[in-house]
Amino acid sequence: MPPRRMVTLGIVLLLAVPWSAAMTVLGLWIIFDTPRVRMLSDPGVSLGVGLASVACGQLVFMVCVCDRVFPRAAKRLVVPAEAISGGLFALGLLWSGVFALFG
């Protein structure tokens, strides 16, 4: 692996790992400990936002870290895992939007 690619990979990892960890921890915090923000005090909204945040954190980790560290991973495993995480992200956003508007 050329040195330039190693530096680029290192920078991506240094940015993506904390980003994905922060999104996941924030989502778990929102799900399990109801925040004192008025909009998130509704359980339906907080569950949707928390699910979207956890799924987004996992998706960021899979796309930005795993795909670059393991470029030859089996696509029949990678694509469904990323699709499930992306679908859960969209479902969480839709869930929270429905509860925020009609809840």
- Of 8, 9, 20, 19, nearest to 70 by C-alpha is 9
How far apart, in Å, are the Cα atoms of 38 and each of 3, 5, 33, 43, 67?
50, 46, 14, 11, 38
Asked whether the predicted pLDDT for residue 1 surpasses 80, the reply is no
Sorting pLDDT into bands at 50, 70 and 90, what band is 18?
very high
- pTM, two decimals, is 0.90
Query: Can you give the pLDDT at residue 45?
Result: 87
For residues 103 and 77, what is the distance between their CA atoms, to the nearest angstrom?
37
Output DSSP code: residue 39. Answer: G
Question: What are the pLDDT digits (tens) for 55-67?
Answer: 999 999 999 999 9
DSSP tag of 62: I
Distance CA 94, CA 71 (A): 32
